[in-house]
C-alpha cells in the first residue's frame, strides 16, 4: 500500500513538486527525477536563493558535491 502510494505520489509530494516548479533562479538550476532533486549552483551554495527556498519545505535532505558523487561511484564500482 505504501509503495503504491509513493508511485502515484502523495498529496504532500504533489504540493512540493508544484512549489518547486515555481522556483526560478538565473544562476541556479534544478532537475526533479522521482524523489530526487538535482541542483546545479553556478556560483556557490552559500549564495543560492534556491537553497533558502528548499529549506522552507521542511523535508529531510542531504547534499553532495560533484567530487563526492564521483568518489562514491568509484567506491561502488570497485566493490562489485
The residues spanned by each domain of the chain are: 2-79
Tell me the C-alpha distance between 22 and 72, whole Å.
Answer: 32
* Residues 63/42/40/56 CA torsion (nearest 10 deg): 60
Give the residue, 73 or 57, on which the prediction is more confident: 73
3-state secondary structure string across 35-64: CEEEEEECCCHHHCHHHHHHHCCCCCCCCC
Instruction: Write out pLDDT tens, residues 3-58.
Output: 333 444 567 777 777 877 787 778 888 888 887 888 888 888 888 888 888 888 78
The pLDDT of residue 73 is 93
Amino acid at each position: 500500500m505504501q509503495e503504491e502510494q509513493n508511485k502515484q505520489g502523495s498529496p504532500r509530494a504533489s504540493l512540493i513538486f508544484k512549489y518547486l516548479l515555481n522556483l526560478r533562479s538565473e544562476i541556479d538550476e534544478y532537475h526533479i527525477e522521482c524523489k530526487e532533486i538535482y541542483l546545479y549552483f553556478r556560483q556557490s551554495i552559500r549564495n543560492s536563493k534556491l537553497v533558502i527556498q528548499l529549506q522552507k519545505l521542511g523535508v529531510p535532505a542531504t547534499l553532495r558535491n560533484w567530487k563526492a558523487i564521483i568518489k562514491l561511484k568509484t567506491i561502488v564500482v570497485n566493490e562489485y
